[in-house]
Amino acid sequence: MGAEFISSRHEALVAETRHQGEKLIIAKPLTYMNLSGRAVRSLVHWYKLQPEDIIIVYDDIDLPVGRLRIRGQGSAGGQKGMASVIETLGTEGLLRVRVGIGRPPEGWTAPDYVLAPFSAEEWQVMQEILPLAAEAALALTWQGLDQVMNRYNR
């Protein structure tokens, strides 16, 4: 798509591009994860977005490494960034692409685990799955949720 993060505003890195004639905004919050909702709220107000216009892509320790799960709504499932977005926007009705990173090994806390680098094996899996996660997010912009779920949920 050729999108590059060229702007740092709204407490996020922001890229704007077009796909099939539609404007797409890609944003990566710069806030602490548990404050991601602040960045999303700022983007929602600036771009005049509705919750149904938003697709959240995030890591999920409750899915095995490399597993994708597309959903149209639901709780945060313990993911602090998603909880912040849900609380800030006041709805669980958000499209999401969850990317499995697996459970922390025994003796690890969840925060330490999610911030640690991937092992070589995990990194190889992530290199294969991340392009599919991006493809799934893009597909959600023009295909129905059920169709995308059937294709990408693994």
CATH number at residue 141: 3.40.50.1470
Pairing of the two strands 22-29 and 68-71: unpaired
User: What pLDDT shows up at residue 19?
Assistant: 87
State the chain's maximal CA–CA distance in angstroms.
49
**38 lies in some domain:** yes
**2 lies in some domain:** no
> How far, CA to CA in Å, does 6 sit from each of 26, 54, 110?
11, 20, 31
**1 lies in some domain:** no
CB-CB contact of 101 with 59 (8 Å): yes
User: What pLDDT shows up at residue 22?
Assistant: 85
Q: CA torsion sign, 65 to 149 to 152 to 30?
A: negative
**60 lies in some domain:** yes
**106 lies in some domain:** yes
User: What pLDDT shows up at residue 21?
Assistant: 85
Question: Which two tokens mark 59?
Answer: 């890591």
Domain count, the chain: 1
Domain region containing 110: 7-152
Look at the chain and count its residues.
154
Q: What angle do CA 51, 52, 55 make, to 5 degrees?
A: 85
**72 lies in some domain:** yes
pLDDT, tens digit only, all 154 positions of the chain: 567 787 777 899 999 888 888 889 999 999 988 999 999 999 999 999 999 999 999 999 999 999 999 999 999 998 999 999 999 999 999 999 999 999 999 999 998 999 999 999 999 999 999 999 999 999 999 999 999 999 999 7
User: What pLDDT shows up at residue 154?
Assistant: 74
User: What pLDDT shows up at residue 1?
Assistant: 59
**43 lies in some domain:** yes
**143 lies in some domain:** yes
The pTM of this model reads 0.90
